[in-house]
Structure 1
């Protein structure tokens, strides 16, 4: 399905992935709202993209959509490795950029958060290596132009495969029209 507002386009591919393109960061709230609507305790979102791609911006919007108040400023945990925010679901925002590999992730004590009843949002997830959860939503962010971004949401595991339709449905209620490809 393809949906388009003035600045946001979404396409659901035959393989189940959802591709959302936006012209500016201000166009992202419908995507964050759609994700927040389907998130459950214990979920993991892996954000991949170059520096400045929009990983933290998406996390900020997602946290807001999950009810994290403005008094909890959502910032990149690059130096702290982890920031925790309280909303409808706890948000465990990890930035693994400064770590080398799965041994560093384990030594930092971050694995325990994947067992918590919150949502793990992980930037630079390649550092997880073999510790990467099987059930997850991979979100690859590509810079199209100065502000434009493409978000490729790829479900991993049965639970996420089933939820992709709910994400598409939620977005369609946000004035997005869909066309399968």
Structure 2
């Protein structure tokens, strides 16, 4: 019985170490991020392989995609709850967040295919797309500056959450220095 428990713990430990981001890499990579606590929290929970800075940057983009997709679905669900004045801002915001998702997906694709000969070009593309995603998220919030209430604060909370993880992803991408 003791042998079974020992091997079970050993297998669990090996599985955990090989299927999630390593805590030391996450901590050292996130310590100077724009939102270090958010960076550490979200990437510590990440369940894919992330044992190199490149994999960690990809994980950060995947987290951003997931959060942006969630925000997009949330915005779509609000369409029936808002008044006419909010509807236009909400529609624009939903479009901008959808654009952010597209930009982040292009970034992830680019990061997966980094090559020595085109590395600088690919990194430039990735940084441009993540920056565009951040701009879209910021622009989304601008549409609600004149609108008060629960809907506005719910949207603001969701979009700021997306912007924080996206900003951290850009930081991690900026730290990559080779393919």
TM-score tier by shorter-chain length is under 0.3
Task: Identify the structure with bigger relative contact order (alpha carbons < 8 Å, sequence gap 6+).
Answer: 1
Larger radius of gyration: 2
Q: What TM-score comes out, normalization by structure 1 length?
A: 0.25
